[in-house]
Amino acid sequence: MDKPASLWTRIYDAFAALSRGEGLSAIFEPLRTPPERSVAFTIAVIALGAKMAKADGRVTRDEVAAFREVFSVPPTEEANAARVFNLARTDVAGFDAWAHKIAAMFGPGNEVLKDVMEGLFFIAMADGHYHACEDEFLREVARIFGLEECCFESLRASFVPDAAPDPWQVLGVPSNTPLDQVRAAWRDLVRETHPDRALARGLPPEAVKLAERRLIALNRAWDEVSRRAA
């Protein structure tokens, strides 16, 4: 009996097929549901992250390290993972083409696409700076993903540190929203972002750390809004 292919070998094979545009429907369908969705999530973040890392004109060690924080690669898989990263760097397709492929993989507005955006924001901030070209890149990806502007702004406010992040922006609501509606929005976001939900969506365990980080930002924003309303 043949030995099952390792996770990173499967990721590479699917990535290569997607790059060639071969058998997309056959590749997409099995990757839509857990546990195979972790393969799709990995492909999405690596494909777009590798292109975004070049958006500011350079790929830094910090950005490479950020990939490793999102994806824990065991020593036995380092060679296969390196093949995936090299393919991502050399693939000639534009980022928008990849964004459309990924949106098709999950369906516009799918919760996993928000998880992918979290991974991309994490990589964008790896060097400590959020560049204008990265903002333009991420806004266009979010548009292709079918995510609403308020969703993008909420993610941005959660991951991009400002001197005083706007708590209403983090929660994705206007500043004049009644407190009971803000509370409802906060509860919905917490429910969507909870690490248990991320695991249920089939994300790799390492990526759940991004959900935990976002959850902290959401709770901090709600505390600030409720404090100001008191």
Q: How many CB atoms lie within 10 A of CB 149?
A: 11
Q: How confident is the model at residue 141 (pLDDT cuts 50, 70, 90)?
A: very high
Q: What does pTM read for this prediction? A: 0.76
* Tokens linked to 31: 């990757």
Could you give the CA distance from residue 218 to residue 230 in angstroms, rounded to a whole number? 19
Q: What is the mean pLDDT of residues 63-76?
A: 71
pLDDT for 150: 84
Q: Which residue has the tokens 């969507």?
A: 192
Beta strands (DSSP E) in 160-202 are none
pLDDT for 181: 94
* Tokens linked to 155: 């993610």
Q: How confident is the model at residue 2 (pLDDT cuts 50, 70, 90)?
A: very low
pLDDT for 187: 94
Q: What is the mean pLDDT of residues 199-212?
A: 74
pLDDT for 140: 95
Comparing 37-41, 47-51, 186-190, the range with the smallest average pLDDT is 37-41
